[in-house]
C-alpha cells in the first residue's frame, strides 16, 4: 500500500509538472530565464528634420519591459542602442537606415532567452510606431 501511495503521489507531481509547463510563464517555475516581450509607447522626438538624421540624431524610445539585450528596429534594420532603463532605450539614427524624408517605422525587439523548449514564451517584438522625418 505504501508503494502505491508513493507511486500515485509521484504520478500526480509529474502530471502537475506537465500541466505547469504548458500554462505560460506566470505559472511555470522553469521559466525563470524567460525574457518579457517589450512594449513600445512613445518616441521622442516624434518627428525630426532629415538634416538631424544626417547629423546622427538620437531617438529615445519609451515603453516598458526593456532588458539589456533589447534592440531597436528602424525600417526593418536592427540597431543596437543603449537601454537606459526598463522603460527607455536610445538609438543613434543615420542615413544608413533612414535614406530620405518620410515615415519611418520604429519598433523594439528582445531576443529569446535561454529558456529552451520548456513552454516558456521569451522575448518578442513590440508594436510599431511611426517617426516622421521631414
Domain boundaries, the chain: 1-30, 31-133
pLDDT band for position 105 (50/70/90)? very high
Determine the pLDDT at residue 114. 55
- The CATH architecture annotation of domain 31-133 reads Sandwich (2.60)
Q: What 3-state class would DSSP assign to 92? A: strand
**pLDDT digits 0-9 by tens, 26-66:** 445 555 556 788 999 999 999 999 999 999 999 999 999 99
pLDDT band for position 16 (50/70/90)? very low
Contacts of residue 58, Cβ cutoff 8 Å, sequence gap at least 6: 90, 91, 92, 93
CB 51 within 8 A of CB 29: no
Q: Report, as an integer, the average pLDDT of 77-90.
A: 95
Cα–Cα distance, 10 to 22 (Å, whole number): 19
**Residue that wins the pLDDT comparison between 112 and 55:** 55
CB 120 within 8 A of CB 30: yes
Concatenated DSSP letters for 25-70? TTT-TT-TTPPPPPEEEEEESSEE-HHHHHTT-EEEEEEE---TT-
Is 50 exceeded by the pLDDT of residue 20?
A: no
What is the value of pTM for the model shown?
0.71
pLDDT band for position 2 (50/70/90)? low
Average pLDDT, the chain: 80
Q: Report, as an integer, the average pLDDT of 85-106.
A: 97
Determine the pLDDT at residue 111. 86
**Exposed/middle/buried for residue 83 (C-beta within 10 Å: 0-12, 13-18, 19+):** buried
> Of 74, 90, 89, 97, whose CA–CA distance to 38 is shortest?
89
Amino acid at each position: 500500500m505504501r508503494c502505491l501511495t508513493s507511486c500515485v503521489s509521484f504520478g500526480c507531481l509529474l502530471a502537475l509538472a506537465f500541466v505547469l509547463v504548458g500554462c505560460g510563464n506566470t505559472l511555470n517555475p522553469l521559466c525563470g530565464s524567460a525574457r518579457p516581450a517589450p512594449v513600445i509607447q512613445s518616441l521622442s522626438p516624434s518627428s525630426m528634420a532629415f538634416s538631424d538624421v544626417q547629423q546622427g540624431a538620437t531617438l529615445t524610445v519609451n515603453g516598458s519591459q526593456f532588458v539589456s539585450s533589447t534592440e531597436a528596429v528602424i525600417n526593418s534594420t536592427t540597431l543596437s542602442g543603449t537601454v537606459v532603463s526598463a522603460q527607455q532605450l536610445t538609438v543613434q539614427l543615420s542615413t544608413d537606415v533612414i535614406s530620405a524624408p518620410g515615415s519611418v517605422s520604429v519598433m523594439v525587439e528582445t531576443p529569446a532567452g535561454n529558456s529552451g523548449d520548456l513552454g516558456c514564451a521569451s522575448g518578442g517584438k513590440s508594436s510599431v510606431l511611426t517617426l516622421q522625418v521631414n
